[in-house]
Structure formats: structure tokens, C-alpha cells
Amino acid sequence: MHLRERTILLLPRDIAGMASQRDQVGKMTPTQAEDFLRTLRGRPFTLADAHERVRMSGSDWSVEQTHLFLLCAPGVQHDKGTDAFQVTKSGGDDELREAILDSVRSFAGRPVPAAQVRARLPSDFVTTDEQILGLARRTDGLEIFGPQLIRIAQ
């Protein structure tokens, strides 16, 4: 998982845009995020179950923040039919890594910025240019060079 690489910081809906109340922002460290996901591993769970666990851990995250985190967290799958979430044993990076490789290959060997790679990813991937660059650095067959361009390794 790549949760160790960043701290997740989300504003609660009721104070979004209110600079005077920034001290009420909910935070979750990468370690807390990994621990939270570890407690949910194994069986499907609802958003309400996940939010209750977040609250019991001492977080002030809203249901909406918990939902966004689950949608973006690697290794979490959402079944839209049952509206249940499940944390898989392996991270979701393998699928994203393959999609990134396919996207870079589609440029026929030309170096490409991460934003263009992201634009060619299937719509079910929610990612950032920084995550694409990070995965490309750790993927055999890809290399980063110049001004953050990605290409097939020579």
C-alpha cells in the first residue's frame, strides 16, 4: 500500500471553505489509515460499519470523508450492487500498474506526461499524476526522465 507516502487531510463538509475554523480539520495519519484498513480486512462491510470504526478510533471524520477515503484507498473494492466494501489482501496497485503500462504503450514509444497517461486510464481508476509517477518509478519496464515524462524502458 502507498498510504505511508502521504497524510490524508479532508475538510468536514460543514466547515469547507471557512478558514477561521481550520483547527477542526479531521486528520488520519498513514499508520492510522493502515490500521483502520487492517481491521476491516476479510469480510464485506457497509459504510456505516466503517464510519463507526473510524469514530471509535477517535477520529472526527464525517460519513462523507470515510466514504471518500474508502473509494480512494488502495485495495478497497466497492460493490455498487450491494453497496458493500471489502478490503482485499493485496493492494489495488497491480491493476493500476497494468493500466499505466497499457496507457504508456498506447503512445507508441513516445515519452508522455503523467497527465496524459491518466487521461487514457479506464474510468474506474481514481488517481493522481503523483501516484502515476510513483508507480511508474517502481514498475519494471517503465522509466521517468526529463520533466516528469514516462516512457517504456530501453
Domain check: are 83 and 9 in the same one? Answer: yes
User: Number of folded domains in the chain?
Assistant: 2
pLDDT of 91: 53
Q: pLDDT band for 111, please (50, 70, 90 cuts).
A: very high
Q: Are residues 101 and 78 in the same domain?
A: no
Looking at the structure, tell me whether residues 110 and 67 fall in a common domain.
Answer: no
pLDDT band at 24 (very low <50, low <70, confident <90, very high): very low
Displacement of CA 72 from its chain's centroid (Å) = 4
C-alpha cell of 97? Answer: 500498474
Burial (CB < 10 A; 0-12, 13-18, 19+), residue 135, is buried
With a threshold of 0.95, does the pTM exceed it?
A: no
**Averaged confidence pLDDT in the chain:** 79
What pLDDT was estimated at residue 12? 44
What gap in Å lies between CA 131 and CA 91, rounded to an integer? 14
Q: Rounded to whole angstroms, what are the CA distances from 120 to 42, 105, 114?
A: 32, 11, 10
Query: Is residue 74 located within the same domain as residue 114?
Result: no
* Residue 150 to residue 101: CA distance in whole angstroms: 10
For 39-95, how does the pLDDT look when each residue is reduced to its tens digit (9 = 90+)? Answer: 787 788 999 999 998 888 778 889 999 999 898 887 788 888 888 898 875 555 778
Residues 28 and 83 in one domain: yes
CB 74 within 8 A of CB 134: no
Neighbours of 136 (CB within 10 A): 23
Q: Is 81 exposed, middle or buried (0-12, 13-18, 19+ CB in 10 A)?
A: exposed
Residues 38 and 16 occupy one common structural domain: yes
Q: Are residues 131 and 66 in the same domain?
A: no
Segments forming the whole domain that contains residue 13: 3-87
Tell me if 122 sits within 8 A of 95, measured CB to CB.
no
